[in-house]
Structure 1
Amino acid sequence: MIRSTFTVFFLTVLSTTSYGQLSGKFIEQKTDSLFAGYTTGTPGVAVAVVHEGKMVFKKGYGSANLEYDIPVTPETVFLVGSVSKQFTAFSIYLLEHQGKLSLNDDVRKYIPELSKFAKPVTIKHLCYHTSGLKEQLALLGFSGWRMDEYISNEQILSIVSRQTDLNFEPGSKFKYSNTNYTLLAEIVERVSGESFSSFTKKNIFEPLGMDNSQFYDDNERLIKGRAYSYDHEDSTYKKEKLNNVYVGSTGLYTTVEDLSKWSDNFYDPKVGDELLIRKFNQLATLDDGSPALLVEEPKVQHAKGQFFRNYRGIDTYIHTGGDAAFKAFFGRFPDERLTVIVLSNDIRFVPYSNGIKIAEFCLEDKMHPEQKEEDVPVNVDNAEYESDKSQLFRYSGSFYSEELLTRYTLRVKEGNLVMSHVRLNDMKLEQKGKSTFSGVNYYPFTVDFIEDDHGNVSGLNIIDFRGEIISFEKCYEYSQACVEK
């Protein structure tokens, strides 16, 4: 009887204190198993778990530099891609807190070179991803920029300022666009009178003791302890090229240890105060008050460089990042005072699934049972369009975009329609429909040809995988406008 009572008591204590075992070997054993494939011969991963303001686990796996066999440690510096965005938005909120700007200000108050639209784009629209501005990576890519070139905020601002159309009326829809956060960084610079890198260092990183964090706006600046990122082709790792210096949408180099200090600021503010933190965590909405949703089911709502959702009964604020083969996961579970941080320099690393798996290790006894989604039959039409090769010449010609100041030439080569640009490799197009083709630049895209009532091609639209539409007008040799262009 006594033995049975003790057993029940012991099992009860064990179940109710399993969360406390995060400070022991439990989380390490689980994480070691998860990342067992990372060795000295592979890129790696750095992990940190923070609970109640304490670092309960931190460890590195694999290599930060494959050429010099430098291991990943919790002090290794990684580029965190879009995790940068919450620091950009927070900088805006700091300036608002100081009375130096309003979220309802027209963006053109600070960046007058932007086009004037029927309805003003406000700072809030940028923060909420509801501006309707076109994605900068699509604009750059189809202007002929290579993604491994030197690209700065100034160059992005130049091409964005040429855009005369929006994807939608500001405030009417949600659409994730890196352009929004590059412009926010530009506003921080113009309002504060100093570089974005300098502002964030003085106002965020130094006060929080984030000594190994910086926004990288100078590609010749040395970064002590940095990792290099690696692509993987034909079973071989290759060093990924990275020369860009645009900041705001990306550009933050940091460590899991520094990000743990950033996490602490949400609960014990040293930068800003509790009121600012509450405003920052408020969920984004459209102008009509409806939620700004990334996904409707499960409901995932934007919150200024964070995405909020309830995952298995637990509220989460999560954002992932990816840039030049770097990968990042920063996830806060505020009711549990838990934060999971995972950074990698391996292009094959999947941030969300790995980050949420570590959170499940920590919170399994608190989470609702995982619901299995029912398989829904999907009718997939795998029939290939039978292209009439003899008609491909109809799509030949020169096509010009006034907004991008760039030209593409289309011609038939070896029985295929090929799209050429003076600064890019030729792109073979595959016919998918009567006037629709697909191809790959750095990312997949679709080409829809525009025809008049007589079937003559007058232009084309390039639609990238994000849904961005770039319009091109067909040029004719006898057209003076074409000659001038």
Structure 2
Amino acid sequence: MNIKNIAIIILTLGLISHVQANEYDVTEVSKLMASYEQLGRFNGAITIKKDDKIIYSRGYGSANVKTEVNNDSDKVFAIGSISKQFTASAILLLAQQGKLSLADPIATYLPYYQNEVGQKATIYQLLTHTAGIPDPMDTGKGIDGDNDPLMHEKTLPVTKKSLIDSFKDLPNSFEPGSRYEYTNTGYILLADIIERASGKTYADYLKTYLFEPAGMKNTSASRPDNSPLLVESYSGIGSDKVHTTKIDNSWLVGAASLYSTTGDLFKWVDAMNAHKIFKDKKFDYLLSNPVDLRRNNEFYGYGMEMTTLWGQKAYRHDGATAGTVADFIYLPERNITIIIYMNHVHNVSNIDLSIDMRKKIIQQVSGILLAHKTPDIVSLVSNNTIDLQQYVGRYAFDDDHQIAITLKDNTLKINTIGLKNWTLYNLAQVTHLPPDQFTDTATKLFNLLNTNELTKLAEIFDEQMASAPLDVFQGFWQQLEAELGALESHYSFSKSNDNDEIQQRLIFEKGIVDMSVFFDKDGKIKGIQNSSPIPKEENGFTSKLLSIEGDKLLIDGYVIKQHQDLILKFTRNNKNQITGFSYNQMVEHQAIKQ
């Protein structure tokens, strides 16, 4: 690489701008998405339809790394919980056909729910997540197939009976109808009700009564493994991408099992509004009797949420499966539909970061379309004037915490050194928590795992965690040790405001792992979740630095496994020599050049 090819980043301030003559000029959308792509932030596709016209359609990155097929709007992707609106529509259609009533107790159709819950909970409550049936699938541990021993079973087929048996006899989370709590189990039961009321399989009923009338030729209730259009999914942003092991569809039928394309989802909206599905209803039928979520004027109807974007009514639902996140937004007052999917996401234990990024993109894109707002854009351009050598050197925050900036192959790298174990997560920000009930319990957890005293885990686990086989936790720990060597030290470094979560930094011989430990109200551990390991290089943890305008360098947030980038602001003396840098991450930190 020569100096002319060095990339710098220019940060464009978010200012209000007016679009050109075309009310829906998508030039700014194109600039925004290009910036995400150039920084490795976005791999997927986004398509926008206004009335009968596609006004923006673009794929970014690979749909299949092995075959080198690129993403675009014609690709078939896992839509996750966007599937719920189709399950709901099938139930509504059966109601119109007189084969069931939304007011019916679920015991009317489900012989295995003849208990008190089955007699009280109604089909309407399943549709609106108000039945109170617990969701044992939602463990909070992430889903990453072979890389996650706690969730490995979901990559294998399961019978409908076995799946339903896993939750049908559990005590209800709350009295049916008393409140809202989003679950997958309600929609799994709805799929079974569809089959029992119609006499058809779930897949056949949706194909006959929903997909075919809408002209949705590339939508299916199972993974189309032989389709050349199929999008594969990957975990890991940056250099640590891995192909994601798929959840078997048998775990998700009714809740999140469908595959589709952006084009077919547009056809679905058009078909609903053209009365091809319901003779006298349009798309807003899905929001005809919603429950109030009691947050920011949001409501949940039949497999669809109603909210507002920039003052406009919006019908939407998102979806997330292993390695893929997606969003479906329909703005009825503007007749605009936005479909987005990402198939390269954060390592699954941190998939919330990819979900947050998808939400941010939707907010920015809708802001351009609806409010003529130009978002903050970080974009790459070439520059041949920057002198990278001037930043090279050792910088000290204190005697214990130092960093070294080096230059190799025209690329700056920042390496943590010094007497204390620390990483680019927080640079010099030391946030050790004092001992208390939670930090002591979390510390005991990792001591027991490290010393293989697994039988003592039952003392600190809640009932659900204690029921897991001990070899699951042993395998989980052995996997970490195989990759990172022996555990050297660990400490607590953050806690939730509700005192139900504490984070531990585990420092192994060859790298670090951050783990969240979740507690119930009695102080027992109810779950653990880990970030992807950060490998250790030589005597510290290294990341690339990207040059930005002026005396600023940016540490790519996705490289350091954080959601936000970290900008270092360099200082100079009257001789124009660099004397140190500062950065602000909750508090101001200063480093002096040695």
What TM-score, normalized to structure 2?
0.59
1:134 aligns with: 134
1:353 deviation in Å? 1.8
Distance 1:299 1:450 in 2: 34
- Listed as ranges, the gaps of 5+ residues in structure 2 are 1-17, 143-148, 347-353, 376-430, 481-489, 505-513, 530-594
1:412 aligns with: none
Change (3 A) 1:281 1:138: closer
Contact 2:224 2:230 in 1 (8 A): no
1:61 deviation in Å? 1.7
1:404 deviation in Å? 7.4
Match of 1:202 among 199, 208, 213: 208
- Listed as ranges, the gaps of 5+ residues in structure 1 are 1-13, 286-290, 370-379, 410-418, 452-459, 466-485
1:120 aligns with: 120
Distance 1:220 1:263 in 2: 23
Which residues in structure 2 correspond to 1:154-173 (within 5 Å)? 154=160, 155-163=162-170, 165-173=171-179
Q: Deviations over 1:384-416 (max 9, x none)?
A: 42639899999926589999798347xxxxxxx
Distance 1:149 1:233 in 2: 22
1:60 aligns with: 59
Match of 2:340 among 323, 339, 342: 342
Number of matched pairs: 406
Q: Deviations over 1:167-209 (max 9, x none)?
A: 1101001101111111111211221222211111111111111
Contact 1:138 1:464 in 2 (8 A): no
Change (3 A) 1:214 1:461: same
Q: Which range moved further: 45-54 or 248-257?
A: 45-54
1:87 aligns with: 86
Change (3 A) 1:387 1:141: closer
Change (3 A) 1:444 1:397: closer
1:232 aligns with: 236
Distance 2:327 2:311 in 1: 20
2:318 aligned with 1:323? no
1:48 deviation in Å? 1.6
AA aligned to 1:31 is S
Which residues in structure 2 correspond to 1:331-370 (within 5 Å)? 331-348=329-346, 349=354, 350-365=357-372
Q: Deviations over 1:435-476 (max 9, x none)?
A: 988689x9955344969xxxxxxxx673689xxxxxxxxxxx
Distance 2:290 2:33 in 1: 34
Change (3 A) 1:112 1:400: farther
1:76 deviation in Å? 0.7
Contact 1:153 1:182 in 2 (8 A): no
Q: Which range moved further: 138-147 or 196-205?
A: 138-147
2:440 aligns with: 387
Distance 1:40 1:193 in 2: 51
AA aligned to 1:173 is R
1:51 deviation in Å? 1.5
Contact 2:49 2:336 in 1 (8 A): yes
What TM-score, normalized to structure 1?
0.71
1:310 deviation in Å? 2.5
2:77 aligned with 1:69? no
Contact 1:438 1:446 in 2 (8 A): yes
Match of 2:309 among 311, 330, 338: 311
2:155 aligns with: 149
Q: Deviations over 1:298-329 (max 9, x none)?
A: 22211222221223321111111111111111
Change (3 A) 1:161 1:130: same
Change (3 A) 1:237 1:408: closer
1:55 deviation in Å? 2.4
Q: Deviations over 1:234-258 (max 9, x none)?
A: 7221111104113211111111111
Q: Deviations over 1:221-278 (max 9, x none)?
A: 5333101011116722111110411321111111111111112134222111333645
Distance 1:390 1:223 in 2: 49
Change (3 A) 1:140 1:313: closer
1:420 deviation in Å? 5.5
Question: Secondary structure of 2:315's partner?
Answer: strand
2:242 aligned with 1:268? no
1:215 aligns with: 221
